[in-house]
Chain A
Amino acid sequence: MQQVELFAVAVIFWGGIFTFLAYLLLRMIGIEKQLKIVESQVQGDQ
């Protein structure tokens, strides 16, 4: 039981941190792609 609790806390701690980091990285990639598209559209408009 004690080992299960310790494992659960480790999963919550490191899982929370790495999941958020992965979310940030994926969001960064997505936004950069969209920015490139929008900026090329702006240049096209000009």
Chain B
Amino acid sequence: MIFLGITAAISLLYVYMTWIFAPPDVVLGENVRIFFQHVAPALVSYGLFGGTLLCGVMYLWKGDLKYDILGAVTIKLGLLFTTITLLSGMIWADAAWGTPWNWDPRETTTLILWVAYACILAYRASVSDREARAQFGSIFGIVAFPMVILSYLSIRIWETLHPIVIEPSGLQMEVEHMMTLLVAMIAVTMIALIMVELSYKVDSANEKLMRIRMERS
């Protein structure tokens, strides 16, 4: 409950900073407010897919189903945040570059990333053998992770319309925008953690329900 309260408070601060505190950007103008609702879910989705990788390795190592359930949860939530990233990015691209989709390297690799993890979810939904689902689901979760790295590095590998904000020397933006992005990252990460916990509880309860039904039939 304390964590929930802190998350609600930081989320309100995030809303305040995004819409009121952050000044319009010199180049982007008011559209800079999209940035905080685009970059934060993108980075959090990368973290969630990192969790999928970790859960996959842990399941293959320990063979404990809880890692498989957690891995599936991180895929679902990673897809949710990637969807938010893609849609908000399309609106931003339309405003900044005149068209919602440019087949820019970052856009294309993020779309491939989305399709790859959606395929894993589709695979998991289609296989009834619990052990096979867990084993191959874990392997696919590990195999798909390089796509996350490629999506992140795409703006450095290929020529792109995407601005490079995170440089080795630091963030290339105004102090107010940097502070807002930091709060955005904390808020979205905390929201994602709450969703992971809730989703894990739901899927564990569903697993128990399926097991009881299987035993009875």
Give the interface of A toward B (CB within 8 A). 1-2, 5-6, 8-10, 12-13, 16-17, 20-21, 24-25, 27-28, 31-32, 34-35, 38-39, 41-42, 45
- Minimum CB–CB distance for B47 against chain A, Å: 16
Any chain A CB within 8 A of the CB of B195? yes
Give the interface of B toward A (CB within 8 A). 29-31, 33-34, 37-38, 41, 77, 80, 83-84, 87-88, 91-92, 94-95, 191, 195, 198-199, 201-202, 205-206, 208-209, 212-213, 216
Which A residues are CB-close (under 8 A) to B34?
5-6, 9
* A31 near B41: Cβ-Cβ < 8 Å: no
Which B residues are CB-close (under 8 A) to A9?
33-34, 37-38, 88, 91-92
Which B residues are CB-close (under 8 A) to A35?
205, 208-209, 212
Chain B residue with minimal CB distance to A16? Answer: B84
Partner of A31 from B33, B92, B191, B205 at Cβ < 8 Å: B205
How many pairs of A and B residues are in contact by the CB < 8 Å rule?
Answer: 75
* B209 near A6: Cβ-Cβ < 8 Å: no
Chain B residue with minimal CB distance to A28? Answer: B202
Which A residues are CB-close (under 8 A) to B198?
21, 24-25, 28
* A28 near B83: Cβ-Cβ < 8 Å: no
Complex alpha-carbon distance, A5 and B34, angstroms: 8
Task: List 22 A–B pairs whose Cβ atoms lie within 8 Å, in order of A's numbering.
Answer: A5-B31, A5-B94, A5-B95, A6-B30, A6-B33, A8-B91, A9-B34, A9-B37, A9-B91, A9-B92, A12-B87, A16-B84, A17-B84, A24-B195, A27-B206, A28-B201, A28-B202, A31-B205, A31-B206, A32-B205, A35-B208, A42-B216
Complex alpha-carbon distance, A22 and B203, angstroms: 15
Chain A residue with minimal CB distance to B197? Answer: A24
Which A residues are CB-close (under 8 A) to B37?
9-10, 12-13
Which A residues are CB-close (under 8 A) to B94?
5
